[in-house]
Amino acid sequence: MYVENIVIGKPIVEPSTMFSLDEDDWNKVEKEKTYYTDERFLPRILVDIGIYPSVNEIRRNKPDLMVELNQLDFLDNLKVSKKRRVWILVGE
């Protein structure tokens, strides 16, 4: 599974409006690259989607990613590894 977009909780805007250019782009491209979760601890999410093998690895190598996402937010183009970037929509 290749994930670029992460939706946490219940967003106050539609993910399709945040991650895609239009409805066609959403349905053909972005929808299948979107991961939905209620988990708010970013390292656990990154392990769940397969970017890192463990939370301990993130703690050692990317301590800036050791965050809890509890506030409504939109993080765009967040660099999570050398080759990967993700967009995160945080809801209620």
Which of the four pLDDT bands, split at 50, 70 and 90, describes residue 1? Answer: low
**CA separation for the pair 3, 10 (Å, rounded):** 18
DSSP code for 41: B
Residue 79: Cβ within 10 Å count? 12
Nearest CA to 9 out of 91, 86, 81 is that of: 91
**CA separation for the pair 42, 76 (Å, rounded):** 14
pLDDT digits (tens, 9 = 90+) for 12-29: 999 999 998 999 999 998
Structure tokens at 80: 């999570």
pLDDT(42) > 80 = yes
Could you tell me the pTM of the whole model?
0.89
**CA separation for the pair 43, 63 (Å, rounded):** 10
